[in-house]
Amino acid sequence: MSNQELTATLRDLLTPVVQDSGLYLEEIEIRGAGETRVVQVLVDLPEDTTEGVDMDDIARVSHAISDALDQHDPVDGPAYELEVSSPGAARELKQLRHWKRSVGRHVAVTPLDTSTGGKFVAQLLSVEPAGDDDSAVTLQRSEQVKKGMPVKLLEPETWQLSQIRRAKVDVQD
């Protein structure tokens, strides 16, 4: 079975297991081969919450995933390592649900058109869904003219996701 076929099989098997734990199956990645093969499962909270996945959630779903894999044994060949984790605090925003989960956080944005400036950091104020590429986000940049001076909030800006090349949660101090 190819890694692509195995990933699809694992997704079918593990999606209900992860959902029963109150989480969302974000991604499955298979790395390596033979005895060094790693099955990595990324889980997240549903898109309507902005908290992060805690260690208790990871431990609970790890046991459920491990039990399901032991019971159904879909991974052929020698033993493999199972890694279950969350996407992390500084996740890349690739899907609409990632944007929704990040409302209120600072994001580092690289626009498609860099003629008016390059990468910037702003607070994500809201997300207006309209299909993945047509969805809009409202971002608010800030500026500090001099170190030690108060930060000035600039006017909120609306960006279509189709105007953004790349975005990532920016973990602030």
**In terms of DSSP bridges, do strands 24-31 and 157-160 run parallel, antiparallel, or are they unpaired?**
unpaired
CA distance 159 to 89: 23
Closest of 30, 168, 151 to residue 87, by C-alpha: 168
CA 124 to chain centroid, in Å, comes to 15
Tens digits of residue pLDDT in 61-99: 999 999 999 999 888 877 889 999 998 878 899 888 899
Domain that holds residue 51: 3-85
Tens digits of residue pLDDT in 30-50: 988 777 789 999 999 887 777
Residue 133 confidence (pLDDT):
62
Domain for residue 91, yes or no? no
Same domain? 100 vs 81: no
- Rounded to 5°, the CA angle 57-44-125 comes to 125
Domain for residue 124, yes or no? yes
Same domain? 68 vs 113: no
Mean pLDDT of 124-128: 94
Same domain? 77 vs 113: no
Binned at pLDDT 50, 70 and 90, residue 2 comes out as confident
pTM of the model: 0.74
Same domain? 59 vs 125: no
Mean pLDDT of 3-29: 93
Same domain? 14 vs 79: yes
Q: In whole numbers, what is the pLDDT of the chain averaged over residues?
A: 88
What's the full length of the chain, in residues?
173
Better-predicted residue by pLDDT, 122 or 1:
122
Beta bridge partners of 106: 123
Domain for residue 90, yes or no? no
The answer, yes or no, to whether residue 132 has pLDDT greater than 60, is no
Better-predicted residue by pLDDT, 169 or 173:
169
Single-letter amino acid, residue 33: A
CATH code of the domain covering residue 10: 3.30.300.70
CATH code of the domain covering residue 156: 2.30.30
Q: Which helix (H) or strand (E) holds 142?
A: strand 142-143
Same domain? 62 vs 115: no
Same domain? 13 vs 51: yes
The sheet with strand 38-44 has its strands ordered as 24-31, 38-44, 81-85
